[in-house]
Amino acid sequence: MRNLTEGSETKEIILFALPMLIGNVFQQLYNMVDSIVVGQFVGKQALAAVGSSFAVLFLMIALIMGVTMGFTILIAQYFGARDKAKVRAVVDTAYIVLFWAALVLSVVGVLAVPLILKVLRVPADVAPEAGTYLRILFAGSLATFGYNGVAAILRGIGDSKTPLYLLIAASFLNIALDLLFVIAFGWGVAGVAWATIISQAASFLGALVLLNKRNEYVRLSVKELKFDPEMFRLSLKLGIPSGIQQTLVAAGMMVLTRVVNTFGTDVMAGFSAASRLDTFAMMPTMNLGMAVSTFTGQNLGAGKPERVRRGHSSALLVGLGISVFIGVVMVFGGPGMVRLFTRDPEVVRIGARYLLIVGAFYSLFTIMFVNNGVLRGAGDVMIPMVNTLLALWIVRIPTAVALSSRMGPDGIWWSIPAGWLMGAVFSSWYYRTGRWKRKAVVKGPVEPAPAEAAST
C-alpha cells in the first residue's frame, strides 16, 4: 500500500504509475502476441477477425472500468482518511457486484454474438473466426472481471505492485499457450482466445491466494462477505457516469469498426495491427491518468487540494514528454512495426499510414487523459462523461463518417486527433475552473494556503 499524501508529487505519481504501466505493457503484450501469432501463422483473415473483435473486447473492459471506477474512488478517499471499516465495506460490496456483473455478461454476450457480427458488418470471410473468438472471450468474463476488479481495488489503497507480479507471470503463460494452441495444436483463432482466458483466470486465482494471506483490506472470504447498500449507492453515484463514459467510448469504437469494416479485409487487418501498437503508445498516459486519480482521491480525502494541483502539473509535464517521444517512434518506425503482424504489403501500408497520422498527436490525448484523471479522483465524474460525448460522438464519429466517404480510410484516421483536440480543450478549461475540488465524497481537514502556512 502506498500513501500518496506525502513526499514529492512527481516522484510519488511516477512510482505509483510505473508498476501499473509495466503491468499493462505485459497485458497488452499478450494481446499483441495474439495478433502476431494469428497474423503470421494463420493469415490476414484471422488477423482481421481478432481486430474486428477488439471493439467488443474494449466494451467488456469499459464495463469493468465503469463498475469498478466508483469503488476505486471511494476506496482511495476512505483510505486517505484512514477509515479502515469503510474501506472494508466498499471492498466486500465490490466483490459481490463484480461476480454478478460477470455472470450476466457471460450469458448475454455468448447469445448476442450473431447480432454483434451483423451490427459490425464483419465480412463473410472473417465472420466465422470472429464469432468463435468472441464466444470464448464472453464465456470467460468471470476471469476478466475478477483480475481487473482486484487490480482496481488495489489501486485504490495505493498497491500497484501486486497486480504487476501476477500479470507478468500470466503474460508469459499466455504467450506459451498461444504458441502451443496455434502452432502445435492448430486451433487458430480459438487457440489465442483460450490462451487469453486461461491466463487471466490464473492471474485472478493467484491474486486471491496471495492477497488472502497478505492484505487485510482485500482479503476474500465468501462466508464473511457483506453487501453494504450505502456503499453500493455511493459507488453507483460515482461509477455510473464513468460507466456511461466508458460505454460511450466502446460504442464509438464499435461504430468506427463498422466504418473500417466497410473497406474490406486489408483495411481491417491494417487497422488491427496499427491499433494494437497504438494501444501500446497510449499506455503511459493512461496509467498516469489512473495514478493521478488515486493521487487526487487520497489527497482530497486528506484535505490537501493544493497538492493535487502540483501533482497534476507534474503528471502533465511527464506525460507530454513521453507522448512526444513515442509519437516520433510511431511516425518514423510504423512500417517496420506493422510487419511484426503480417508480411502483406498492402496491409503494412495501411497500418503504417494510420500510425503516421495518429502518432503525431499523442500529446492531445495526454492532456485530455491527465485532466480527466484529476476529475475522476475528485469524484467529479460527470465532466469526463460530457467530455467523451463531445470528443467522440460530436466530433470524432461524424468526422470519420464524413471524411472516409471522400478520403477513404485516411478520413477515419484523421478523425482520431480531431476528437482528442476537442477533449483536450474542454477538459483543460474545466480543470482551470477549480470546481472539481468541491466534489469529494470524503472531506478531510483542509490544508492551509501557502501564505497562511508561512505566517504561522
Cα–Cα nearest to 235, from 384, 61, 75: 75
Return the C-alpha cell found at 207. 491474486
pLDDT tens, N- to C-terminus, the chain (456 residues): 566 778 888 888 888 888 778 877 776 776 677 778 888 888 878 888 887 777 777 777 766 766 677 888 788 778 877 788 888 888 888 888 888 988 998 999 999 999 988 888 888 888 899 899 999 999 998 888 887 788 777 777 777 677 777 778 888 898 899 889 988 998 989 998 999 899 889 888 887 777 677 666 667 777 778 889 998 888 888 777 767 767 777 788 888 888 998 898 899 889 988 988 888 888 888 889 888 988 888 888 778 888 989 999 999 999 999 999 999 999 999 999 999 888 889 999 999 999 999 999 999 999 999 999 999 888 887 888 888 889 989 999 999 999 999 999 999 999 999 999 999 999 999 999 888 887 666 655 545 444 433 333
- The amino acid sitting at 455 is S
User: 218: alpha, beta or left, given left = phi > 0 and alpha = psi -120 to 50?
Assistant: alpha
DSSP-based three-state secondary structure for 375: helix
Number of Cβ atoms within 10 Å of the Cβ of 93: 23
- CA dist 138 and 298 (Å) reads 34
User: 440: alpha, beta or left, given left = phi > 0 and alpha = psi -120 to 50?
Assistant: beta
At 142-164, the pLDDT tens digits run 888 887 788 777 777 777 677 77
- CA dist 456 and 212 (Å) reads 46
